[in-house]
Structure 1
Amino acid sequence: MQLIIQHLSKTYPNGVKALDDVSLTIPMGMYGLLGQNGAGKSTLMRTLATLQDADRGTAMLDDLDILNQKEAVRRVLGYLPQEFGVYPKVSATDLLDHFIVLKGITNGRERKELVEALLQRVNLYEHRKKAVSSYSGGMKQRFGIAQALIGNPKLIIVDEPTAGLDPGERNRFYNLLSEIGENVIVILSTHIVQDVMELCNNMAIIHQGRVLYSGSPMASVVELKGKIWEKSIAKSDLPTYQQQYNVISSKLVAGKPLVHIYSESTPGESTPGDLDPGEGFVSAQPDLEDVFFSTIQADTLVTR
C-alpha cells in the first residue's frame, strides 16, 4: 500500500500559492512532513483528508482516487487535526461512541466493544467516565488518536500532534504513533524536527508550498557530514557573521549565540563559490535540524 501524490497545486483567492506542484510517494509506515508554519503542510493535509479541493494534480491511495472518491476515502481515513473541539461535560465513552455512530457503525454491542478496545489501546480506559474537556493536553491527543482509529483506517493523518505536550506525554504519544505506523500509512505533519527524527523512516521538507527534499531523515543527515561548522560568538557580532557566512541557525548557549554555518570548505582552504569557515569554527556533528535549516536557507537564496 502506498499514497502517490502527483503535481498537486492549490492557490487561495487572495493569491497565496499554498501548494506548488507537490509530488510525493508515501509508503506504509510513519512519514514525516516537515516545514515551518505557513509552509503548506496543513493545506496538503486538509486536501488529503478530503476537506478541501486542489486546483490540479492527483492523489491515489492504491487504486482509490482521493480527490474524486471522497466518501470512499473517508471510510478508510483517520484524521487528527491540530485542534479539535469537544462537547463540555461529555465523557470519553459517550463521545467516542458518538464518533463511532458517525462512522457508520450502529450495532450497540459492537460499538461498546469498540469503545472499550480503543480506550484501552490509547491508555485512557481508567479515565473513560471523565469529560474529555477536563483532560490534559496529552490525554486529549490520545483521545484524538482513538477517534482516528475508528474503522481500521488505511491512512491516518496527524497535524502538529505534539505541540504543547510535556516530555512524558510526548514520549507516550511517540510510542503510540510508532505502534500504529507498523501496519498503515501515518502522515505526521509537524515543524518539530525531533518528532520526525524519532518516529519516521521517510520524510519530506516543504517550504512555501514546494517539496525541497524527500527521502530518509538519516540519509539527509549523512549528506551533511563535514559541511556544518559551529562557533560561539558575542551577541554583538551576530549581524556581522550573518553577512559574512551562510549562517543556517543560531541559538543561545550559556548566554552566547552558538552559530551553525554551512560550508563545503575547511578553515584556510576555501573553494570557488564557498566561504572559508574561518578561524575559531569547529566541525559540528550534523543533525536533522541542520538539514532542515540548510535546505530552507539554500532555497531562500535561490529564490531571492
Structure 2
Amino acid sequence: MELIIDNLSKTYANGVRALQNVTLHIPKGMFGLLGPNGAGKSTLMRTISTLQEADTGSILFGNINVLKEKNELRKTLGYLPQQFGVYPKISASALLNHLAVLKGITNKKERKEVVNGLLNKTNLYDVRNQNLGGYSGGMKQRFGIAQALLNNPKLLIVDEPTAGLDPAERNRFYNLLSEIGENTIVILSTHIVDDIKELCTNMAIINQGQVVLKGKPLELIQNIEGKVYQKTIPKNELDIHKKKYKVINEKLFLGKPIIHVLSDKDPKNGFVPINASLEDVYFSQINN
C-alpha cells in the first residue's frame, strides 16, 4: 500500500501559503519529512490526518480518497501530534483502556490483550499503574505511540516526536519506530536531521511550503560527496566568505566559526575537503 499526495496546496486566511503543490509518493516503511519550523510540515501532517482541509490537490491511501472519505482513513490511521495532553492523575493502563473503548474495542478480554500488548511493546508495562503525571518526556511519547497503535494502523504519523528527549529516550524511541515501520507506513515529521539519518529509507525536505528535495538519504548524501569543504575562520570574516562562497552551514567550535561550503571544485584558500553528511544535504537546500 502507498500514500499518494498530489499537488496539495493550502493558504491560510492571513495569506500564508503553508503548502504549495506538494507531491509525494510514500511507500511502506519509515519516511522522513524534514524541514525547519514553519516549513509546512505540521500543516501537511494535519491535512493527511483529516484534521484540516486542503484548498486543492488530492491524497490517496490505497483505495481511500483521504480528503473525501475521512472516516475510512481514520479507521486505519495512527497519529501522534507534536503536542498531546494526558490526564496526569490517571494511570497509563487505565487511560489506554479507556481510549481502546473509544476506538471500538469493546470486548473486555480482547481489550486487555491489546492494552497489555501495547504497554509491553512500548516498554511501559512495568510502570502501567503509575500515574501519567509522573512519567518522563520520553515515557509520555511512548505512551503516545501506544495510543496511536490501538487500532493496528496501516498509516502512522508522528510529528516532531523526539523534540526535548534526552539521548537515551531518543534511542528507545528510534528502536520502537523502526520496529513499527517494518509493516506500516510511518511518516516521521521533524526538524532534527539525526532522526531521519537514523531511521528513514526515504525522505523529503520541505521549506516554505514546497518540497525542495526528495529521495533516499544515502543517495542524496552521495550526490554531494566530494563537493563539501570546511574551514575555520575569524568571526569578522563570516560575511566576506558568505559573499564569495556558497556557505551551506556554519557552527562554532571553541568560539570560532567553522563553515561548510558547497563547491564543484576545490576552493583552496585554507578549505579542506570533508565527507558529506545528511546535515550538509539539508542545509544546502534550506540555505539556498
TM-score (norm 2): 0.98
The residue that corresponds to 1:137 in the other structure is 137
Q: CA deviation at 1:185?
A: 0.1
CA apart distance, 1:278:
3.6
Q: Could you tell me how far apart the structure 1 residues matched to 2:13 and 2:133 are?
A: 35
Counterpart of 2:243 in structure 1 is 243
Counterpart residue identity of residue 253, structure 1: F
The one of 275, 278, 282 aligned to 1:288: 278
Report the counterpart of residue 5 of structure 1 in structure 2: 5
Spell out the pairing of 1:149-188 with structure 2 (5 A cutoff).
149-188=149-188
- Taking the aligned partners of 1:205 and 1:235, their CA distance within structure 2 comes to 30
The answer to whether 1:121 aligns with 2:121 is yes
Describe how 1:192-231 pairs up with structure 2 within 5 A: 192-231=192-231
Residue-pair matches, total: 288
RMSD: 0.8
Distance in 1, Cα, partners of 2:16 & 2:33: 20
Separation (CA, whole Å) in 2 of partners of 1:36 and 1:224: 21
1:254 Cα shift?
2.1
Distance 2:29 2:132 in 1: 29
Alpha-carbon distance between aligned partners in 1 of 2:69 and 2:131, rounded to the nearest angstrom: 35
Distance (Å, rounded) in 2 between the aligned partners of 1:99 and 1:44: 25
Q: SS of 1:230's equivalent?
A: strand
In the alignment, the residues of structure 2 paired with residue 134 and residue 73 of structure 1 have an alpha-carbon distance, to the nearest angstrom, of: 34
In structure 2, the residue matched to 1:302 is none
The letter for the 1-side match of 2:129 is K
Distance 1:53 1:133 in 2: 34
Task: Report SS of the residue matched to 1:39.
Answer: coil
Match of residue 270 from structure 1: none
What is aligned with 1:301? none
Regions of 4+ moved over 3 Å? none
Within a 5 Å distance, the mapping from 1:8-157 to structure 2 comes to 8-157=8-157
Residue deviations 1:64-102 (CA, integer Å, cap 9, x gap): 111111111111000001110011201001110111111
- The offset of 1:262, in angstroms, is 1.0
Paired residue type of 2:91:
S
- The one-letter amino acid of 2:209's match is G
User: 2:113 and 2:261 mapped to 1: Cα distance?
Assistant: 55
> How many Å separate the matches in 1 of 2:64 and 2:246?
44
Q: Deviations over 1:157-193 (max 9, x none)?
A: 0000000111100110000000000001000000000
Give distance in 1, aligned partners of 2:132 and 2:99.
Answer: 13
Question: 1:230-284 deviations in whole A, cap 9, x for unaligned?
Answer: 1011112212212221111111112211100111122xxxxxxxxxx24100111
- Identity of aligned pairs, percent? 60
Output the CA distance in 1 between the equivalents of 2:202 and 2:27: 8
Q: Which amino acid aligns with 2:207?
A: H
Paired AA for residue 254 in structure 2: A
Q: Say whether 1:297 aligns with 2:276.
A: no
Q: Distance in 2 between matches of 1:88 and 1:178?
A: 28
Aligned-pair distance for 1:116?
Answer: 0.7
User: TM-score of the superposition, structure 1-length normalised?
Assistant: 0.93
One-letter code aligned to 2:246: N
- Consecutive unaligned residues in structure 2, runs of 5 or more: none
Greater mean deviation of Cα atoms: 191-200 or 95-104: 95-104
Partners of 1:20 and 1:65 in 2: CA distance? 20
- CA distance in 1 between partners of 2:274 and 2:207 (Å): 25
Matches of 1:26 and 1:19, distance apart in 2: 17
The match for 1:272 is none
SS in 2 for 1:164: coil
Q: 1:297: how far off? A: 2.5
2: CA distance, partners of 1:50 / 1:110: 28
